[in-house]
Structure 1
């Protein structure tokens, strides 16, 4: 039977005059993948380190199955964590790394080869970790976390260094683990990386909780957009201005916010405006994420969409 949820209650951590985590509370449900989201420096890693007993909270508590991590008798059998993809001895092989941990975790050494194969590192098992790529180290970190077959998996930025194929593999693996009833918590500062993976989101900014909900509820905050390409851009912009639509330039055309394809298509047809593309561009979740967390928009990305030309 897998462990129950993670609970964070009023968690606070101050480093001198700096408050890294500020009265943070949320819960992580079993059988689901929860994305722990926030910009770099928002307090995600500090929170996870407090959860794992690596940093002492200034106030509040972080519980796993209703207990602090340090009270779990065989923690690696209940909680698998990977916070850094570089915390390996470079002179050891991948297999040697896991074999050194196996007695502490309480698993047979045969489990080491089994889990390396599971994460796609069977061919690199006898290579020194110092020669591993970032993506391979991420896989080894995941193998370390899964060595004890835990019911709770905690991963900090697990997609860093993975190629597109690796990201798809990771997504499927995390979904499968959650489907088995395990609790999966992963942190990221890039919403797009976890959007297709998570069931729930916990969003923090400047160490404080700004949103905790299902992904579906989070998506409801976003404004949907329609992609348009037309050989009559001036006429289309005039139509948009007349209808009060919010429009921004996009490669080869426009993005129209807050309306659906049927509305745009009907209006363009009625005004005799030829369209070469009319498609659903989806919800702009990144804009919601940036606005909730107060993070600066990347260069070239407007914080406020909808400026009519």
Structure 2
């Protein structure tokens, strides 16, 4: 069995009495895109900062491959990360920013220009970053993350502030990276932004693990239902009570959960109940996500560095 690209093991980070990350454990599989999901303030950024050696954990560990980030001899060639879309000197050009990083990464000027072209910034090479839009800053952050041609890419909320076209571009880029066999860990507080992109999901809330699985298994948590319309509602309600079907009534008719349409149709026919509509209703993943994270939103509890606002360290 192939070892995980990333392993978070019993990771905890406390700031005084405030626990930002609480005994968190999960893995990221090599060659797949993993969505790291949770409400604002759930501990996602703090976790990523510990993973990248920018913050020391109170206990536990986070490793990339078989070692912590700081023990990797040439880290930029192994893992690339973009945690902030605003951490650029406004007076530098996009090319100037990458040229500043190039000696640390071990690449030349040609690679800087190549990666700017790859992220769609070839027309803004000489433009100062202070005049960049949010979308351009996100692209420059990606360029910096990809400069060393890493096999593992870590992105924190990469779609923040992007218009729909920019979000689609990010999705296509991530899929292209995965198609090359790279591993991607992307955080978000909005399930819909990553749902069509990821292979696996890790959901946290209040700094704790709430769910970890493939996207397929996560989709299996969504409750399936059947919409039913009938001119004999009393008979349908009696049938549902007899069969112990979860049934609810709405403006468009009834909804019966956890029972397939064939079973309902057959039982209604046998009971002599006339049906005018029988429609399968797909599960709502957003509802599942909200149910998992209910009561864990700590937005305003930490700043972007992971430091609690108003809480002594």
Fold-level similarity (TM above 0.5): yes
Match of residue 104 from structure 2: 104
* CA distance 1:259–1:140, shift in 2 (3 Å): farther
Match of residue 208 from structure 2: 208
Question: Aligned to 2:282, what secondary structure does the other structure show?
Answer: strand
Question: Aligned to 1:73, what secondary structure does the other structure show?
Answer: coil
Q: Which structure has the higher relative contact order (CA within 8 Å, separation 6+)?
A: 2
Alignment check: 8 A CA contact 1:225 1:284 kept? no
**Residue 42 of structure 1: how far off its partner (Å):** 0.9
Alignment check: 8 A CA contact 1:105 1:148 kept? yes
**In the TM superposition, what whole-angstrom CA distance separates every residue of 1:264-296 from its partner, at most 9, and x where no partner exists?**
777899755545xx7554221122212222247
* CA distance 1:124–1:58, shift in 2 (3 Å): same
**Residue 249 of structure 1: how far off its partner (Å):** 4.7
* CA distance 1:133–1:249, shift in 2 (3 Å): farther
Question: Aligned to 2:148, what secondary structure does the other structure show?
Answer: coil
Matches of 2:124 and 2:157, distance apart in 1:
22
Unaligned runs of 5+ in 1: 298-309
- Measured on the aligned residues, the alpha-carbon RMSD in Å equals 2.7
* CA distance 1:227–1:159, shift in 2 (3 Å): farther
* CA distance 1:225–1:54, shift in 2 (3 Å): same
Alignment check: 8 A CA contact 1:154 1:186 kept? yes
Matches of 1:57 and 1:248, distance apart in 2:
50
Alignment of 1:26-175 (within 5 A): 26-175=26-175
Alignment check: 8 A CA contact 1:88 1:129 kept? yes
Matches of 1:190 and 1:171, distance apart in 2:
14
User: TM (normalized to structure 2)?
Assistant: 0.82
**In the TM superposition, what whole-angstrom CA distance separates every residue of 1:75-134 from its partner, at most 9, and x where no partner exists?**
111110001111111121212211211121111111112111111222222222122221
Match of residue 186 from structure 2: 186
User: How many residues get paired?
Assistant: 288
**Residue 215 of structure 1: how far off its partner (Å):** 1.0
* CA distance 1:255–1:102, shift in 2 (3 Å): farther
Alignment check: 8 A CA contact 2:36 2:201 kept? yes
* CA distance 1:273–1:115, shift in 2 (3 Å): same
Match of residue 12 from structure 2: 12
Match of residue 294 from structure 1: 294
**Residue 67 of structure 1: how far off its partner (Å):** 0.9
Matches of 1:262 and 1:169, distance apart in 2:
41
**Residue 138 of structure 1: how far off its partner (Å):** 1.1
Matches of 2:177 and 2:283, distance apart in 1:
27
* CA distance 1:159–1:246, shift in 2 (3 Å): farther
